[in-house]
Amino acid sequence: MRKTISAAAAGLAVLAASLAAPAAAFANDSAATKPLHLREGLTLRIPSSWKVDASRKDWVRVITGSCPTKGTDTYGFRDSGCHSFWVMGPEAIKVGHELFQKYTPDGPFYPATDVGPCPVGKNLYIGQSKLAAKGLRQVGPGHKAYYRDWAGTCVTMSSYRVKAHYNQREWYLPTSKILVIDQWRTPGLSAILKDATWS
C-alpha cells in the first residue's frame, strides 16, 4: 500500500512539473517563443508552435493544440474541441453576456441567447456554472486584471445529465478593454500573462 501511495505521489509530482515546465521553458528561451502584439500596446510571448487567428481584431484566437473545427462552419467562440484561448476587444466585450448584453466580471462570457455547445465535449451542451475563484491577477507591470474562474458542466440535451466539466478562466482589463478567456486550462498561460509587456 505504501509503495502504491509513493508511486502515485511521484506520478502527481511528474504531472505537476510537466504542466509547469512550458511556462518556465518559454520564459527562458526566446527562440521557442514569438511575440503576440495586441491592442493598447499589450504584448505576450507565446510558444512558437501556437497559431494566432487575428482575422477578427476584437476576437483574436490563439490555437494551442488540436482544433478540428478550424476551416468548418462551426469554427468560432461557440465551437467544441478547439484547444485555444481568446483575447477579446471592445466589440466582443460589448456583447459578452447572455442576450448580448455588455460583459462584466459578474458572470461568465457567454454571447448567446440559447444553450451553447460544450467547449470540451462534442454533442454535449453547456449546463450550469459556478464561480470557483476570483481576485486580481497581474498582466504585465502596472496592470491588474479582474480574474474569474467559472467551473462549468456539460450535459446531454435529452436528459441534462452531467457528462463533462470544464473551467472558463477570464482576465478582464476594463480600462484597456481587453478580456482573455481560456476554457482549456492552457498550461503556462497565467505566467505568460503575468510576464506580459506594455508599450
Per residue in 149-173, pLDDT tens? 999 999 999 999 999 999 999 999 9
Going by C-alpha positions, the residue among 193, 151, 14, 180 that lies closest to residue 89 is: 180
pTM of the model: 0.85
pLDDT at 31: 77
Q: 10 is written with which cell numbers? A: 511521484
Listed in sequence order, the residues at least 6 apart from 26 whose beta carbon sits closer than 8 Å to its beta carbon are 32, 33, 45, 46, 47, 188, 191, 192
Question: How many other CB atoms are there within 10 angstroms of residue 11's CB atom?
Answer: 10
- The tens digit of pLDDT for each residue in 91-119 reads 999 999 988 999 999 999 999 889 899 99
Residue 96 to residue 150: CA distance in whole angstroms: 15
Q: Is the dihedral of CA 63, 128, 74, 90 positive or negative?
A: negative
CA distance 28 to 91: 35
Question: What pLDDT does 79 receive?
Answer: 94
Q: Which pLDDT score is estimated for 176?
A: 98
- Alpha carbon separation from 186 to 6, 7, 182, 196 (Å, rounded): 28, 26, 7, 16
Per-residue pLDDT of the chain (199 residues; tens, 9 = 90+): 444 444 444 444 444 444 444 444 444 466 799 999 999 999 999 999 999 999 999 999 999 999 999 999 999 999 999 999 999 999 999 999 988 999 999 999 999 889 899 999 989 999 999 999 999 999 999 999 999 999 999 999 999 999 999 999 999 999 999 999 999 999 999 999 999 999 9
Query: Are 33 and 47 within 8 A, CB to CB?
Result: yes
